[in-house]
Amino acid sequence: MSVSLSQVSLEFSNGFRAINGVSCEIGRGERVAIIGPSGAGKTTLLRLLATALRPSSGSLNILGADPWSLDRLALRRLRGCVGMVHQAPPIPPRQRVVTAVLAGRLGRWPAWKGLASLFYPVDIAGAETVLARVEIADKLFERCGELSGGQLQRVGVARILYQQPELVLTDEPVSAVDPALSDRIIGELNREAIERGVTLIASLHAVDLALHWFPRVIGVKAGEIQFDLPPMRVSDAMLRELYASETAQVPTQDNRPLAVVPAGVRRKPMYL
């Protein structure tokens, strides 16, 4: 089991409960999309799985371990096996793209190798290969501060591809990328997970991407799971209810209305 949550809640110091009694299990090699309106708790849930936040209550198991029962060294090793793509990657503006990508393995490299890579990239060819997969290899030696938001998101995806973690978490990884390229990038993340047999959990704004690429879709609202189903069983009524408080229509890549699926007809997702 890659991820196991049992009655997990997270309450911030101001009293706001972002996650409320969530229970869920995700097996090794599963590919899961998390959808829901803004403020539903999607990002907070991913940060819990990344061990960036500690639950207020309940139990959490990541890759066979309770993160908060580990000593500092063991927790560092666990975090090295988890990779997260942020909506706005926290990459220093003056850092070169090649260095930002190679930083994906800092948690696994010995200290001397990581330090050396800050001064001279130790695997330029490896960084260029993963950047090519997200169509940004030409930016290899540019500074990250010179990139657009969409290009910076692609650097974040390339860093995860280079890191090769056992658990891949992505938080709105293509929100600043055009629809055609978004599809390509989500496809690359899925191929990576399938080829290496690792777990992929993606929070997505575009519901059509979630339904198209992922064999399992979890709908989250107000910090609680509303449904956990294969995409062909996610009805239009469920989606309208999930997003009822946010918008008049279900959000998609190009803001066009999601194609209505007649009652009794199953969606046709793509699983690769």
Residues 72 and 175 in one domain: yes
Residues 56 and 96 in one domain: no
pLDDT higher than threshold 70 for residue 119? no
Does some domain include residue 140? yes
Q: Which domain holds residue 122?
A: 86-164
Q: What's the mean pLDDT in 244-253?
A: 79
d(CA 34, CA 257): 19
Residues 5 and 107 in one domain: no
Other residues' Cβ atoms within 10 Å of the Cβ of residue 254:
10
| Residues paired with residue 221 on neighbouring β-strands, in sequence order | 224
Q: Which of 164, 189, 221 is the last residue of a domain?
A: 164
Say what the pTM is: 0.91
Average pLDDT, the chain: 90
Query: In this structure, what CATH number is given to the domain that contains residue 68?
Result: 3.40.50.300
Lowest mean pLDDT among 64-68, 85-89, 144-148, 253-257: 253-257
Q: What's the mean pLDDT in 144-163?
A: 95
Residues 69 and 173 in one domain: yes
Tens of pLDDT, residues 26-68: 999 999 999 999 999 999 999 999 999 999 999 999 999 999 9
Q: Which of 126, 145, 164 is the last residue of a domain?
A: 164
pLDDT higher than threshold 60 for residue 221? yes
d(CA 222, CA 199): 25
Does some domain include residue 75? yes
Does some domain include residue 53? yes
Residues 39 and 172 in one domain: yes
| DSSP secondary structure of 71-82 | -HHHHHHHHHTE
Residues 100 and 66 in one domain: no
Residues 9 and 72 in one domain: yes
Whether 144 and 97 have beta carbons less than 8 Å apart is answered as yes
